[in-house]
Structure 1
Amino acid sequence: MDRFDTMLAFTRVVELTSFTKAAVSLNLPKATVSAQVIALEKRLRVKLLNRTTRHVSVTPEGAGYYERAIRLLGELEETEAAVSHAAMTPKGRLRVDVPSAVGRRILAPALAEFFDRYPEIDLEMGCSDRPVDLINEGIDCVIRGGDINDESLVARRLGEFRMITYGAPSYLAKHGTPKDLEELERHQVVSFFSSKTGKTYPFIYEQGEVQTTIQGRPRVAINDFDICAVAACSGIGLIQLPTFIATEYTASGQLVPVLDGYVSEVIPVWILYPPNRHLSAKVRAFAEWTAELFAKAEFDTQNSA
């Protein structure tokens, strides 16, 4: 029995948590898939799956084997694609991790177009801002904003967005609208903190080569921009948001821009992947697609007001 066939059968059972569904996806009889997994367990001399009449779950040993198996299968797929000149047809399982706001507002609305273009790619998209070990977690690429400090990864710039300061009408009616940065320092603010570093970010403004940092009077710090925006809409403080997120709230009148004469910082957005993924057709396809989406996205301050 081919080792790669048994490995593929096992990974598909883990992903679908069902022998029946795995068999359908592989176009094989259920008995064949079951026999392949049993043969794999016998060869490894370890139990990989817990089975009941209604449920299949992976054991700790099986979880460890699964992470290694999907990497091996991915590398085999890429090697065969390169040798057979099939790189023009990206296919296979693609695991990515993106910030939730980017996933919700930029990627998810365009997924139908992605699958029309790349019908043989199966996408698994995690939405987080957490530190990701791409190699050990078997993740093909991530999208992240800000400065990149991990020199072990290949970084391709997708675009950029600007941070603008906003306030809810109810907050501005009660506390007034700041006219300059000195006044802003005395206002209540809703802050964003990074899940990656735990750092709470101040409001940053750029005037030529001079950068001014404003802390304000923090009322709450949240690690998700969408929740930050909802909190600010309740009237508890001013907020600095990426313009592509703020558009939804400014269009409805829940937030209005303040300090229009002050320029906030520009945040670069990157797609990152390990050096050994640079020839992957599916990673290259995803990178090109996301770059197109970012090029079309409305990130300028005029569109956010």
Structure 2
Amino acid sequence: MDRLDLYALFVRIAECGSFTKAAEAAGISRSAASMAIAALEARLGTRLLNRSTRRVSVTEEGRALAERCRRLLNDADEAEAMFRPSGSPHGLVRAGMPGRLGRRVVAPCLGEFLDRHPGVDVELRLADRSIDLVGSGVDCTVRVGELAGSTLVARRLGRIEFINVASPAYLAEHGTPLHPRDLGAHRMVRFVPPSGGRPERFEWQEPAGPRHLEVPGRVLVDSAEAQIACALAGLGLIQIPAYDVRDDLARGALVEILPQWRAEAWPVHLLFPARDHMTRRVAVFADWLGALVRGAVACPQPGAAGMSS
């Protein structure tokens, strides 16, 4: 096994946490993979992996080496790409993002990118938790919310606007609220974080900051899909990212209400590891992904759509 193949094997093990899976991907036996990594550790004089009966995890030294190895492998791919016809980008791009954004926005449009760049393959990693770019081997990730102090490179894509919506049937039965003070006579389908915590309250922005109001409701849900389904069924009003219900608004299945009393928007960024050089395949994918997400989260200003008072 040459050095680049060894580094590729080590990176696979670090990313998937399994000698067996990494060995299968490399077309070698598990014992051969184990011996190769043991020899690498002996040559470097340090432990790179913590081994247990259930899982393999990287040490701090292993984490640092995995990142260096990824750079070397990317550089090797880029060097070979120089001699391909037209120098077109080539290889695999791993991208992380929140699950619903990936399912609703990115996956349906992915064919457009693949047709434009036939040499590039894409692996989408959908998760509603923050993805560790360095440890997971992801090339870029979309992150929603304020960014804590980080060494990652960030590209701002915009803000996710939250709007208030309800079904026409619900509004016909309960009336259309014109001010948050009217919500005492209404019902809200409230979102509860899957990890636990307090159910959401109705939120709106004022010059002094966000305001919150407890709105009665008989249904609690822990997913946006369920929240939208309940709203479509007339079980109450919801506060939801505008991109999530754009189609429902267009066909009249949901109606925006209280357009002047929206919840605080969430910033959206595209993040990259702090590397000296970005490969062409990652660069072209990041440009495409950034434009796609930026367009998807764009939302009319309050009052530009919805019911008039």
TM-score for the superposition, normalised by structure 1: 0.73
Residue of structure 1 in register with 2:179 after alignment? 180
Report what 2:212 is aligned to.
213
Q: CA deviation at 1:166?
A: 0.8
Alignment of 1:116-265 (within 5 A): 116-194=115-193, 198=197, 200-208=199-207, 210-265=209-264
Cα deviation for residue 150 of structure 1 reads 4.1
Residues 136 and 211 (structure 1), Cα distance of their counterparts in 2 relative to 1, 3 Å cut: same
Aligned-pair CA distance for 1:208: 4.8
Instruction: Kindly report which structure 2 residues correspond to 1:91-110, keeping only aligned pairs within 5 A, or say none.
Output: 91-110=90-109
Equivalent residues of 2:159, 2:297 under 8 A apart? no
CA distance in 2, matches of 1:169, 1:192: 21
In the TM superposition, residue 61 of structure 1 has moved relative to its aligned partner by 7.4
| In structure 1, C-alpha distance between the alignment counterparts of 2:288 and 2:145, rounded to whole Å | 20
The structure-2 alpha-carbon separation of the partners of 1:89 and 1:220, relative to structure 1 and needing over 3 Å to count, comes to: farther
Q: CA 1:78–1:104 in 2, change beyond 3 Å: closer, same or farther? A: same
SS at match of 1:188: coil
Structure 1 residues 10-49: aligned runs within 5 Å: 11=12, 33-34=27-28, 38-44=31-37
Within 5 Å, which residues of 2 pair with 1:70-89?
71=67, 73-80=69-76, 86=82, 89=88
Q: Percent identity?
A: 30
- C-alpha spacing 1:16/1:143, structure 2 compared with 1 (3 Å): farther
Q: Deviations over 1:161-182 (max 9, x none)?
A: 3211111233333333222111
Equivalent residues in 2 for 1:261-280 (5 A)? 261-276=260-275, 279-280=278-279
**CA gap 1:221/1:272 in 2 versus in 1, 3 angstroms:** farther
CA deviation profile, 1:102-153 (whole Å, cap 9, x unmatched): 2122211221121123333322112221132222222222212222224232
Ranges in structure 1 where 5+ consecutive residues have no aligned partner: 24-32, 47-58
Pairwise CA distance, 1:40: 3.0
Structure-2-length-normalised TM-score? 0.72
Change in Cα spacing, 1:277 to 1:136, as seen in structure 2 (3 Å) is farther
Quick one: distance in 1 between partners of 2:133 and 2:195? Answer: 14
Task: Could you tell me which runs of 5 or more consecutive residues in structure 2 were left unpaired when the two chains were aligned.
Answer: 40-51
Distance 1:44 1:243, change over 3 A: closer
Contact 2:91–2:121 at 8 Å: present in 1 too? Answer: yes
Report the residue type matching 1:244 in the other structure: Y
Q: Which residue of structure 2 aligns with residue 2 of structure 1? A: 2
Tell me if the contact between 1:6 and 1:39 (Cα under 8 Å) persists in the aligned partners.
no
Query: For the Cα contact (< 8 Å) 1:140–1:277, is it kept in 2?
Result: no
Q: CA deviation at 1:230?
A: 1.0
Q: For residues 81 and 286 of structure 2, what CA distance do their matches in structure 1 show?
A: 20
Distance apart, 1:279 and its partner CA: 2.8
Q: Check conservation: 2:158, 2:298, Cα contact below 8 A.
A: no
Q: Is the 8 A contact 2:94 2:140 kept in 1?
A: yes
Query: Hey, what's the Cα distance between the residues in 2 that align with 1:206 and 1:268?
Result: 15
Cα distance in structure 2, aligned partners of 1:268 and 1:175: 33
Flag the structure with higher strand content. Answer: 1
Aligned residues: 281
Matched, 1:281 2:280: yes
2-structure distance, mates of 1:3, 1:81: 15
